Structure 1
């Protein structure tokens, strides 16, 4: 840690003006999560309009999530140099441009530019400040849990209502209007963000680890591309997976060398010395893998196999929306009554039950039977999203919030990328029939839910106290 970061003055909490400051932060998380799932119900419409395949649209969704995951750590670190508010505003602006480009896309290439690259990069720049500012604005355990509960609820509801709102817009106007909707929300957030105060001053002279940024981003991209390549060539996919893992390993070697030389790395290895935080990061990854993987799987099955249109698919997904909204809003009260480990274990258990219900109804005629499984998954995810985030963010002092927020959001979005990549790949494998693909793609999600319960059971049963600011 550099001397400048240790001595930087902190703006008193009175600089904030109350809970109103949470509105732009929650809206930002909402729209970014919305963008990750709303295209799932537009697969047929977008593929016809852009003269491409459904699988190509699914790949563009995965690339959007992948760009977020790859850039979240480097951009999270930029909050120290540029300041949290400036990064937030810049990210919103880039996202807004990407939404407009996506709305005007004449073909798949422009869609990838606007949605996958610009919106993905904008999200990676604006999301770390959301979690940093929440951690800095609200220092009490109860207040912070309530704030994270609202932000997590906004993210969960955004992901869950993406199919519903996106489906309605697509069916009544056009899929392009869904991107216009995103751009309009961005304008609202930008206006609200003008009143935000940055609790810590920017440090423009602070060194930035560019080599580390390149290694971390390229390693994650190559690794996920390896998952996407499985349906084309197993050997090539294996090469990419090994190459990606090798680049990530090289990144950690580079980080250790910079630390040994007394230079500040992109990501401090001290972030991985907290057992509680490490376990919390794993649960975050698995939660978003389940959420985005389930969203892509069910939306694709209902449209491609059962022939439902965008709005019908979106309405069925409203069950997940109700589940996430209700349980997320109750998160603040639940954290006061139950240990965070209990909530996370219970969340994975309920989610697993929901997945089993989806597995059972896969061969049942009609689509409304899916609603019960989606409702259970929504409740389960809403119960555990907030405690997982709170565990990780509260494990570190304020001067580490830029790094841990970038790492936390990167791990979460990497889970989203894994979910969509795994499900998208399994759905297009050549098996006996569409229901076989459905079962094949759903099976690893059930395994992930079980793994999540096991990991969460290793967390301490007691409440975790908020990390104290050093300096």
Structure 2
């Protein structure tokens, strides 16, 4: 289970440190780079409920193996890509495979470890491996890019995917919950439509503006799909998501925290890594060194949380993990605001990693314990869907913030330097891509060459401005989720155990 989990979660972040090289090699912009990340996480999230439901119905091992074959195929497509569109397509295929294979890694544990305390410790190991995969992604990715270029990442994925496939065939026990009802196709299609349209609208809005007709239409489609999904799940005899489980306070709070934590994680994994490489000229090896303590801290936090949850329950560790994680993000934000020192930055990021590790185990345990064993695939799928949705929305929303500050600050500075408005879009694009677009006539820009260094300096400052806001938003979101969970849990306990009146 942990081998399969490692390969699917590793690919959520391993590409983050290759974005600078992909940007230069394929001459693409920040928005397209976001889709290199989002194509995987969005498809992963959109189809994971379907993957969990299919595993419950057709056999968790069988669906897992099919998913790993698809994942390996997508790795080959991405490794051979000669354009950013082909790379995004390969990443999307990998997302389909991950959505089929990953839910089984958690749902099988529900059956192998039926006793709650043992299951909490097993989930601690599961979460430690998932955290290790997420945090090790930038480290391994940096080493691979340094050794063989960004394409080596996807050849590495193929090797690890094949190893996971062999491990699954040899060791995973088959389990299923056959049902006489037909598959919930309306739920599958409407759920994927809601997620796809919503995140695509958020990303497209960065380029076209959020008042653009296409963006408004996509948001409208997302809302309609969500309404349709809820209606379909209420009527379906075998829904991919039992909405009644959301009435449980522990399950509801855990899913809110899952979304917020993974929303915040990507402010570090994606944008901090991109800032260090593109704007601070960090090499792959140096980036790996900065991220390595964070990887270790996530593993330590997850293993410690497994024992803590087994002894004391999920609520307190989850809230403590959120507070520590948010503190680490704010510390990272503070360090990036001054002169960079790698040990200080690595320490701040390690604090965030410790909090993430502590939070992931209890939120996972709360959902898996609150849902009956026969629906373990659904429980695993909805937990990981919220994690992946948080990741995808985090990249989209935080990307919109970073990109808007980058563009606005650059345009303001260019206007101050006297660059005509009609020349500014191509100049902004050149800063984002790291090179002059091939179809641009540079003759009108020659008279402004003396001011290029000022524009580049402004680009670095503008990117940091956006990153600074993105980190702040991430920390606030995680703290808000912790507060919601604490208050909702307290209200729920009060209703269950009212205080007796005095005699």
TM-score range, shorter chain: 0.7 to 0.9
Alpha-carbon offset, residue 440 of structure 1: 2.1
Q: What residue in structure 2 maps to residue 244 of structure 1?
A: 222
Q: 2:471 aligns with which of 442, 454, 461?
A: 442
Alignment of 1:289-368 (within 5 A): 289-368=263-342
1:44–1:54: 8 Å Cα contact kept in structure 2?
no
SS at match of 1:374: helix
Partner of 1:43: 19
Shift of 1:267: 2.3
Give the Cα separation in 2 of the matches to 1:57 and 1:316. Answer: 22
Alpha carbons 1:87, 1:125 under 8 Å: kept: yes
Query: Are positions 1:451 and 2:480 aligned together?
Result: yes
Q: Deviations over 1:219-268 (max 9, x none)?
A: 1111111211232211133443343122111111122233xxxx333322
1: CA distance, partners of 2:200 / 2:341: 32
Query: Is the radius of gyration larger for structure 1 or structure 2?
Result: 2
Question: Is residue 132 of structure 1 aligned with residue 161 of structure 2?
Answer: no
Is the counterpart of residue 254 in structure 1 residue 228 in structure 2?
Answer: no
What is the TM-score of this pair, normalised by structure 2? 0.82
- Aligned to 1:101, which of 66, 77, 96? 77
- What is the Cα deviation at residue 43 of structure 1? 1.1
Q: 2:154 aligns with which of 179, 194, 206?
A: 179
- 5 Å-filtered alignment, 1:64-463, equals 64-115=40-91, 117-198=92-173, 200-201=175-176, 203=178, 206-232=181-207, 233-236=209-212, 237-258=215-236, 263-368=237-342, 369-429=344-404, 430-432=407-409, 433-458=462-487, 460=489
Shift of the 374–417 alpha-carbon distance from structure 1 to 2, 3 Å rule, reads: same
Given that residues 92 and 123 in structure 1 are in contact (C-alpha distance below 8 angstroms), is that contact kept between their aligned partners in structure 2? yes
Residues 19-43 of structure 1, C-alpha deviations (whole Å, 9 max, x = no match): xxxxxx1122222221111111111
Contact 2:14 2:138 in 1 (8 A): yes
Whole-angstrom CA distance in 1 between matches of 2:24 and 2:50: 36
**How many residues are matched?**
433
1:63 aligns with 2:43: no
How far the C-alpha of 1:315 sits from its partner, in A, is 1.6
The answer to whether the Cα contact below 8 Å between 1:37 and 1:295 also exists between their aligned partners in 2 is: yes
Q: List per-residue Cα deviations over 1:54-77 (Å, max 9, x = no partner).
A: 431222201211111110111211
Displacement of 1:206 in angstroms is 4.3
> SS state of the match for residue 230, structure 2?
helix
CA contact (8 A) 2:56 2:375 kept: no
Partners of 1:377 and 1:177 lie apart in 2 by 29
1:7 is aligned to none
CA contact (8 A) 2:10 2:134 kept: yes
Unmatched tracts of structure 1, length 5 or more? 1-24, 465-471
Q: Give the 3-state SS of the residue equivalent to 2:241 in structure 1.
A: coil
Give the superposition deviation at 1:363: 2.2
Larger helix proportion of the pair? 2
| Post-superposition offset of 1:202 | 6.2
